[in-house]
Amino acid sequence: MFVELKDINKTYGDFQASKDVNFEIEKGSLVALLGPSGSGKTTILRMIAGLETPDSGDIIINGVRVNDVNPAKRGIGFVFQNYALFRYMTVFQNIAFGLEIKKESKKNIKKRVEELLELTGLTGLGDRYPNQLSGGQRQRVAFARALAPNPDLLLLDEPFAAIDAKVRQELRTWLRDMIQKVGITSIFVTHDQDEAVEVADSIIVTNKGRVEQIGSPYDVYKKPQTPFVTEFIGQSRFIEDYHKFLGFDKGDYRGAVIRPEFIEAFKLDNQKIKNYIDASEEGTVKAVHFRGNNLELILDVNGIELATYRSLERRRVEVGEKLRVIIFKVIAFDGDKTVILENKELLGKNINNNMLESYLYDESQKSFVI
Amino acid sequence: MVIREKKKLTPHGIILIVISVLFVLLMLVFPLVSVITNSLKKGFDFYIKSLSTEYVLSALRVTIIATVIAVVVNTFFGLMAGWLITKFNFKGKQILATLIDIPFSVSPVIAGLAYIMMFGRLGWASPIIDSINEMFGTDIQIVFAIPGVVLATIFVTFPFISREIIPVLNTQGKDEEEAAALMGAKGFTIFRRVTFPHIKWATIYGVILCTARALGEFGAVNALSKTRGETFTLPLEIDALYLAGSADSITAAFSVSSILVIIAVIVLILRNRFEHRELKQKEQV
Ligand SMILES: Nc1ncnc2c1ncn2[C@@H]1O[C@H](COP(=O)(O)OP(=O)(O)OP(=O)(O)O)[C@@H](O)[C@H]1O
Ligand SMILES: [Mg+2]
């Protein structure tokens, strides 16, 4: 493993910002540290970089315990949350700084900086000062500056936070491609789950200074292991009385989370629902929100509010209209664990779900697969 | 950035402006102009003559020595203290920040007396000075000598530079320094290449304020300086000339004062220029 954190604890005064943090990162991977604000993401990143010292635990980079190694000697490139570009240096000087400190020759510096300017699409902007650049360009400079001394590990603190939503999408793809091209092991912090899911190979979810779950975006999304992750990921709604829905028993759970994609709603005259009309129950449309590429329906089912998506290609529904609603599954909370509960009424049936394409009962796994 | 809206002047506004202009004229401009006119009352030759007496030249020398040393020392300590306070966390940081401001809240006379208490015949630091003199065969005197004048000047002007740069450094944060440190830059390189460009104008502005204050200091120096023609500074010399009471000496007092007034006006102009630059720099942040 390229980076390992073992039993890391860190307190600021009497506030514990990291609690028993353990994780490992493979060489060459792009990992997201995902968690709500204040969950200790930046703290972890700063400890790896050596800008903070853990109270206890080991930080190992490339097989060497670096706790007592000078930050500058850890082979790390760091992109700060607001870039921290040197304001009184030009773009060229910013990128060249680390190389100058390393006493590289003028010729090599010029060559490397120009190479990076080209790589990051900043050719021709070398003489500008940071305040003459757009947000996206600044981020690229920060990225180029961090990469200039050829680090082995790249750390990025909320690299997209200061950029407006439209450009952000573009930059995400850009950054992922760029990191792949350079082939550098990278950890980036974000509190935006879409960002983590889209960009990262694997995700470390943090909450209140602890690591809640580590896994691929797919696993974190499909198999959230703790109630926190379940609620944090996706468009989750916590419902205490989920057993009021058809097909679910009460059990010993304190409640369950339902996501829009766990629900399908059909018009009453829909032919496809005929076979499993028994598994459906009535819901009333309370609101319809246009969400760009689909609609979000807010439904009232048995007095409980649920949300589901509906393709724009399907027939229109009106507020107040009654629909047949099927809930495929819920994620129930069992203490600090989670359990996926399938709809009992549907066992053994194959259902066509417009959002999920099809939803088939797998006899061997005794559960539905998508 | 601040968007300034131009508002139409109301009658109330006009009255307020007239009152403040009158006030400034009456309280500041007329008195200063009268210093200049009085200094030239007995002709230009007399003016030059009264400026070139031995006493005045000595006072000018002492004033310049004290000012230059105070500015150099305070620039050095001001930058150091400002950097320490804003970029590092250590115990007693808050206390240090408060201590720096003491000269603002203590009357200069008290500062002067404090040095007498410390270095005077009965002061606790007097034996230390004595033993130093013995050891090196020197004859350093603090109280009623030029070192005392310099110390007093340093004391009263101590906060000026750190006061100017601390707010700038505070708003700037530590990110740029951390970025530089991660790339392997060492303390002084970081200061020179990353931190100092941020505070260049604030430092120059602080130096100007410090100079102006050092030139004009009276109270603290008065307590520590007793020999005319040796340890007197310009303000003390002016005071002595004026107290002498003859018509000639009073005019001479005005002549010497006019030097300080002219320096003050120059400082004011410089100050204005650099304040403008500093503001512009802040706006860029
Ligand atoms: N220097 C510090 N002194 C005291 N408390 C701190 C310090 N730095 C961070 N904290 C506290 O530690 C906790 C975790 O902070 P951290 O910056 O790691 O959170 P984060 O997950 O990066 O949050 P965000 O998404 O808002 O950046 C916060 O509650 C914060 O208030
Ligand atoms: Mg953070």
CA of residue A40 to ligand 1 center, whole Å: 6
Q: Report pLDDT for A358.
A: 43
Residues on chain A touching B197 (C-beta within 8 angstroms)? 87-88
The distance of B214 to chain A (nearest Cα, Å) reads 32
Average pLDDT over residues A18-32: 93
Domain assignment present for residue B31? The answer is: no
Regarding predicted confidence, which is higher, A363 or A308?
Answer: A308
- Residue matched to tokens 């981020």: A139
- What is the spatial distance between Cα B206 and Cα B167, in angstroms, rounded to a whole number? 12
- Over 70: is that where the pLDDT of A367 sits? no
Q: Report pLDDT for A361.
A: 52
Ligand 1, closest atom to CA A36?
25
pLDDT per position as a tens digit, B128-177: 888 888 888 878 788 888 888 999 999 999 999 998 899 888 888 888 99
Average pLDDT over residues A184-193: 92
Regarding predicted confidence, which is higher, A346 or A148?
Answer: A148
Domain assignment present for residue B11? The answer is: no
Q: Report pLDDT for A19.
A: 93
pTM to 2 decimal places:
0.79
Report the first-to-last Cα separation within chain B, whole angstroms. 10
Angle made by CA atoms A126, A129, A131, in degrees to the nearest 5: 135
pLDDT per position as a tens digit, B80-126: 999 888 888 888 888 988 888 888 888 888 988 888 888 888 888 88
The residue whose CA is least distant from atom 17 of ligand 1 is A42
- What is the spatial distance between Cα B129 and Cα B106, in angstroms, rounded to a whole number? 25
A37 lines ligand 1 (CB under 6 A): yes
Among the bound ligands, the one closest to the CA of A156: 2
Regarding predicted confidence, which is higher, A355 or A249?
Answer: A249
Average pLDDT over residues B239-244: 90
Q: Report pLDDT for A368.
A: 53
pLDDT per position as a tens digit, A293-317: 889 999 999 889 999 998 888 888 8
Report the number of distinct structural domains present in chain B.
Answer: 1
Q: Report pLDDT for B272.
A: 83
- Over 90: is that where the pLDDT of A114 sits? yes
Specify the fold of A3-232.
Rossmann fold (3.40.50)
pLDDT per position as a tens digit, A238-247: 998 888 888 8
For chain A, give every domain's residue range: 3-232, 245-368
pLDDT per position as a tens digit, B179-217: 999 999 998 999 999 999 989 888 988 998 899 889 988
- What is the spatial distance between Cα A280 and Cα A359, in angstroms, rounded to a whole number? 15
Residues on chain B touching A98 (C-beta within 8 angstroms)? 183-184
Mutate to test the pocket of ligand 1, among A14, A43, A46, A48 (most ligand atoms within 8 A of CB): A43
With residues binned 3-state (H G I as helix, E B as strand, rest as coil), the percentages for chain A, rounded to 5, are 30, 35, 35
- What is the spatial distance between Cα A344 and Cα A331, in angstroms, rounded to a whole number? 14
Domain assignment present for residue B60? The answer is: yes
- Over 90: is that where the pLDDT of B268 sits? no
Are A63 and A169 in contact by the 8 Å Cβ rule? The answer is: no
Ligand 1, closest atom to CA A191?
25
Name the phi and psi angles at A160, rounded to 5: -110, 0
Average pLDDT over residues A323-342: 89
- Over 70: is that where the pLDDT of A369 sits? no
Q: Report pLDDT for B193.
A: 93
Residue A348 pLDDT level (bands cut at 50, 70, 90) = low
- Over 50: is that where the pLDDT of A216 sits? yes
Q: Report pLDDT for A42.
A: 93
Domain that holds residue B159: 55-88+99-284
A41 lines ligand 1 (CB under 6 A): yes
Regarding predicted confidence, which is higher, A36 or B89?
Answer: A36
Ligand 1, closest atom to CA A45?
18
Regarding predicted confidence, which is higher, A57 or B122?
Answer: A57
**Pick from A26, A27, A19: which is nearest to A212 by CA?**
A19
Q: Is B242 helix (H, G, I), strand (E, B) or coil?
A: helix
Helices (H), chain A: 41-49, 91-101, 106-119, 135-147, 165-182, 193-199, 217-222, 227-232
Residue B281 pLDDT level (bands cut at 50, 70, 90) = low
Domain assignment present for residue B25? The answer is: no
Residue B41 pLDDT level (bands cut at 50, 70, 90) = confident
- What CATH superfamily is the domain A245-368? Nucleic acid-binding proteins (2.40.50.140)
Q: What percent of chain A has pLDDT over 90?
A: 55
Domain harbouring B201, CATH code: 1.10.3720.10
- What is the spatial distance between Cα B158 and Cα A345, in angstroms, rounded to a whole number? 82
Average pLDDT over residues A6-34: 93
If you average pLDDT over every residue of chain A, what do you get? 87
Quick check: B285 contacting A, CB < 8 Å? yes
Both tokens of residue A86? 């040197």
Domain assignment present for residue B167? The answer is: yes
Torsion, CA A112, CA A113, CA A118, CA A121, rounded to 10 = 140
Q: Report pLDDT for B278.
A: 67
Residue A98 pLDDT level (bands cut at 50, 70, 90) = very high
Q: Report pLDDT for A235.
A: 86
Name the phi and psi angles at A295, rounded to 5: -110, 150
Domain assignment present for residue B129? The answer is: yes
A213 lines ligand 1 (CB under 6 A): no
Average pLDDT over residues A68-93: 92
Q: Report pLDDT for B145.
A: 85
Q: What percent of chain A has pLDDT over 70?
A: 93
Contact A87 B178 (CB under 8 A): no
Are A172 and A198 in contact by the 8 Å Cβ rule? The answer is: yes
